[in-house]
């Protein structure tokens, strides 16, 4: 079900569009000057579907916007800095990407970021709900298991909630799983897609290796080792960066891949499928990542968990307690704000 056509190094340059398909989307990046925000904005600047790119941050956006604006692609880039310019940055925007907030340092869990990042996501989403309530909201800021419920509660409070339009971007988990499984089996990685379901932290990340697009089998010990590596891959980067942050370049790649699929689906291309952490009825957790068929209005259809092997059923069950606690923490935060 995953689209092969989005599996190119630069997703945005491979399509030909008919004159009836929308090709003039306005996209905003909130947190555009950061480690993720800058390379993500660069990749978005290469999209033939984007005509306006709005870059918002509390620092450095004039420089980032001036730099990107010299690139010879059609998106017009504008920089906005500081809360007084936030609403202006969101006018007419159809897709909002949010990588604003602090990243992990060695020894930290994603949940340790909650105290700082929860209010950043709440405040940015409040502005989105007021200025561009119909936009697709794509949340990168960790802890995603809590920031997606925060965004949803903010939209509910404002009376403009549409669960089909709020996504936690978990694409990096699939990107990593594709890389590691293809390496382990010496496969052409462009043909390998591993669905990753559940949430986006530690044990809540559930790679469904049994559903890899090219069927693969592993001895149980090897399957467990690969599963743990996918679950801890973010920590691998945090430790290698030794205090200088978490994944930025691979995350920018993953977010641009997700955005390419979303924009193409919004433009009318059929069959665009990505995993993301969304409001869900698939399990007892209120939010859960599964493969989603994307369409003009966001989630067209939740494709669900599919058939799991016994080990993966256990992984889902092991994820539940942490996932539900993370979700509740996000919901309570907005209720008490
Ligand atoms: N979803 C994922 O798979 C994934 C992967 C990696 C990192 N992340 C998360 O993404 C977030 C950003 O990571 P990074 O490495 O880019 O961090 P960074 O510190 O390099 O950049 C964050 C940016 O956010 C800006 N910012 C802070 N407060 C803001 C506000 N109120 N409004 C607008 N901008 C604000 C900062 O000025 C900075 O430019 C972190 O929370 C990190 O944990 C998510």
pLDDT digits (tens, 9 = 90+) for 11-55: 665 556 676 677 899 999 999 999 999 999 999 999 999 999 999
pLDDT tens for 217-232 read: 999 999 999 999 999 9
What are 97's two structure tokens?
């990407």
> How far from the centroid of its chain's Cα atoms is residue 52's Cα?
20
> Cα of 246 to ligand 1 centre, how many Å?
10
φ, ψ for residue 30, nearest 5 deg: -105, 110
What are 99's two structure tokens?
């990588």
Nearest-atom number in ligand 1 for the CA of 247 is 6
What are 281's two structure tokens?
């009825």
Strand partners, 334: none
**CA dist list (Å): 253 to 179, 257, 262:** 13, 6, 14
Nearest-atom number in ligand 1 for the CA of 59 is 37
Q: What is the pLDDT of residue 16?
A: 65
Query: Beta strands 95-98 and 25-30: pairing type?
Result: parallel
Closest among 17, 25, 22, 27 to 255, alpha carbons compared:
27
What's the chain's length in residues?
337
> Cα of 34 to ligand 1 centre, how many Å?
6
Is residue 81 lining ligand 1, measured as CB closer than 6 Å? no
The stretch 263-278 carries a mean pLDDT of 97
Write down the pTM of the prediction: 0.96
d(CA 261, CA 273): 7
Among protein residues, the one with the nearest Cα to ligand 1's atom 15 is 35
Confidence of residue 5 (pLDDT cuts 50, 70, 90): very low
Domains assigned to the chain: 25-170 (3.40.50.720), 171-329 (3.90.110.10)
Closest among 148, 100, 158 to 329, alpha carbons compared:
148
pLDDT tens for 162-220 read: 999 999 999 999 999 999 999 999 999 999 999 999 999 999 999 999 999 999 999 99
User: Residue 121 class from Cβ within 10 Å (0-12 exposed, 13-18 middle, 19+ buried)?
Assistant: buried
Extract the annotated binding site for substrate.
104, 110, 142, 176
Neighbour count for residue 221 (Cβ, 10 Å): 8
Q: 């993720």: which residue's tokens?
A: 36
What are 182's two structure tokens?
């293809």
φ, ψ for residue 64, nearest 5 deg: -60, -45
The stretch 230-235 carries a mean pLDDT of 98
Supply the Cα-derived Rg of the chain in whole angstroms: 19
């Amino acid at each position: 079900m995953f689209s092969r056509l989005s599996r190119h190094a630069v997703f945005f340059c491979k399509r030909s569009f008919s004159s009836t398909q929308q090709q003039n989307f306005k996209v905003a990046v909130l947190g555009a000057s950061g480690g993720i925000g800058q390379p993500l904005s660069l990749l978005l600047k290469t999209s033939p579907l984007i005509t306006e790119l709005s870059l918002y941050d509390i620092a450095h956006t004039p420089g980032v916007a001036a730099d990107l604006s010299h690139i010879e692609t059609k998106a017009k880039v504008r920089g906005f800095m500081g809360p007084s310019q936030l609403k202006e940055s969101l006018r007419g925007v159809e897709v909002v990407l949010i990588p604003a907030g602090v990243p992990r340092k060695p020894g930290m869990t994603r949940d340790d970021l909650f105290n700082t990042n929860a209010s950043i996501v709440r405040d940015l989403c409040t502005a989105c709900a007021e200025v561009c309530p119909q936009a697709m909201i794509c949340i990168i800021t960790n802890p995603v298991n809590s920031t997606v419920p925060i965004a949803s509660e903010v939209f509910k409070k404002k009376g403009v909630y549409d669960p089909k339009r709020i996504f936690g971007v978990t694409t990096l988990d699939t990107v990593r799983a594709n890389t590691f499984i293809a390496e382990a089996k010496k496969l052409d990685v462009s043909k390998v897609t591993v669905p990753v379901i559940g949430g986006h932290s530690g044990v809540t990340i559930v790679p469904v290796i049994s559903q890899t697009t090219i069927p693969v089998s592993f001895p149980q010990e090897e399957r467990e080792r690969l599963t743990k590596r996918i679950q801890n891959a973010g920590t691998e980067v945090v430790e290698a960066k030794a205090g200088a942050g978490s994944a930025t370049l691979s995350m920018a790649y993953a977010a641009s891949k997700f955005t390419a699929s979303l924009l193409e689906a919004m433009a009318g291309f059929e069959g665009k499928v990505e995993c993301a952490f969304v409001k869900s009825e698939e399990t007892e957790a209120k939010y859960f990542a599964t493969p989603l068929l994307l369409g003009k209005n966001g989630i067209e259809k939740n494709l669900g968990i599919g058939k799991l092997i016994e080990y993966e059923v256990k992984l889902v069950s092991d994820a539940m307690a942490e996932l539900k606690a993370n979700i509740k923490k996000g919901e309570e935060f907005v209720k008490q704000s």
